[in-house]
Chain A
Amino acid sequence: MTRNTSLYAGVALLLIYMLFQACQSEQAIRTAQYTVNGQKLFTAHCQNCHGAKGEGLGKLYPSLTDSTFLIGHRKQLPCIVKNGGVEMPPNPQLTPIEVAYVLTYIGNSFGNEMGIFTLEEVQEALTTCD
C-alpha cells in the first residue's frame, strides 16, 4: 500500500516535472521563433541607422546595447518602434506581432536579455501610446 502510494507520488511528480519542462522549452522555442522573425524585420527597418550589431552611429543614431535604458523603457518600446521617436521615423506598416518580433530580437541580442515580447504585451503597450 505505502509502496504503491510512493510509486504514484513519484510518477505524479515526474509528470509535473515533465510538464514544467515542456512549458519551459515551448517558451524557449517561441522566443527563438520571434527572434528569427525579428532579425529579418530588423535588417529591413532598423539596421541602416542602428547598425548590424546595434552599435548605432555616433550621436546621430543611438545604440541598442544600453540594457538599462531598454529595461527601464520596456513599456514605451512598442510605441517608439511603431510611431517613431524625436528623430526616428515611424514604422506604421508594422503590425503588433511584427513589433513583438523585432523587439524580441533587439531585447535578446547585442548583450540584452529581456526575454520574449509577447503579442499581448505589445498590444497592451500600444494602447498607451501618446
Chain B
Amino acid sequence: MRSIVFLVSSFVFAGFAGCNNETSKTLPILGSREPVTKVVDGKTITDTLYHSIPDFELLNQDSVLITNQAFENGVYIANFFFTHCPSICPTMQRNLLKVYEKYKGDERVKFLSHSIDFRHDSPAVLKSYAEKLGVTNDQWQFVTGSKAAVYNLADSYMVYTKEDSNIPGGYDHSGYLLLIDSNRHIRGAYDGTNDAQTALLLDELAILLKEYE
C-alpha cells in the first residue's frame, strides 16, 4: 500500500515537473551584471544592469553602413569568421547555414557574420562569399570594419579573436554562435563547430522566439 502511494505521488510529481519545465523554460542572460539603484516615484529600487552589445556601425557586403538598429526588431545570431579561414570557419558557417535555411523568410531572425580579416575581406569579397555560401537575402549580413571596431565588438560578444601569424590563415578565434535578443542581451553561446551544439541553438532559438509571441 505504501509503495502504491509512493508510486502515485511520484507520477503526480513527475507530471507536474514535466509540465512546469515545458511552460517556464526561459534562457538566461549571459555575461557580467551589476546592481543599479535608482529612485522611482520617491522609492529607491535596485535593478540589475545586464551585459549588452554596445552600439556598432560596420560596412556590409553591399558597402552600406549598418548599425545595431538593423537588428533591433527581433533576435539575431552573431559570429566571427574570415573568408579564407582554413580551419573552423567552414564547419561553423555550414552549421549556421542550416539555421539560416530553416528561418529564411522569417524576419524575426537575422544573422550577422563579422569578418576579423580587416586586410583582405572587403565588401566585394564578402559579397562573393555570401553568394557562394548560398545566402540570397539580406537576413544574413556580412560585415567588416576597422580592427579596433571588430575586435572590441568581439570582446563584448565574449568571442576570442587575435591576429596570429603562427596560425594557419593568420587569425585565431573561437567559433561560437551567439544568440542575441532584441535588448542586445546574449541569451546563448554555442560551439558552431559542433553538431549537437548547433541542434541546441535551434531548440533555444525557438524558446527565445516564444518570448515575443
- A residues with CB within 8 A of B: 47-49, 51, 57-61, 89
Contact = CB atoms under 8 A, between A and B. Distances in A.
A20 to B, nearest CB: 44
B132 A59 contact: yes
Question: Looking at A47, A48, A49, A59, which has the most chain B CB atoms within 10 Å of its CB?
Answer: A48
Contacts of A61: 90
A15 B90 CA distance: 53
Interface of B: 86-91, 93-94, 97, 129, 131-134
Contact of B87 (A48, A51, A58, A60): A48
B87 A57 contact: no
| 5 interchain residue pairs of minimum CB distance | A58-B134, A59-B132, A60-B132, A58-B133, A49-B90
A60 B90 contact: yes
22 contacts: A48-B87, A48-B88, A48-B89, A48-B90, A48-B91, A49-B86, A49-B90, A51-B94, A57-B90, A57-B93, A57-B94, A57-B133, A58-B97, A58-B132, A58-B133, A58-B134, A59-B131, A60-B129, A60-B132, A60-B133, A61-B90, A89-B86
A60 B86 CA distance: 12
Contacts of A60: 90, 129, 132-133
Contacts of A47: 91
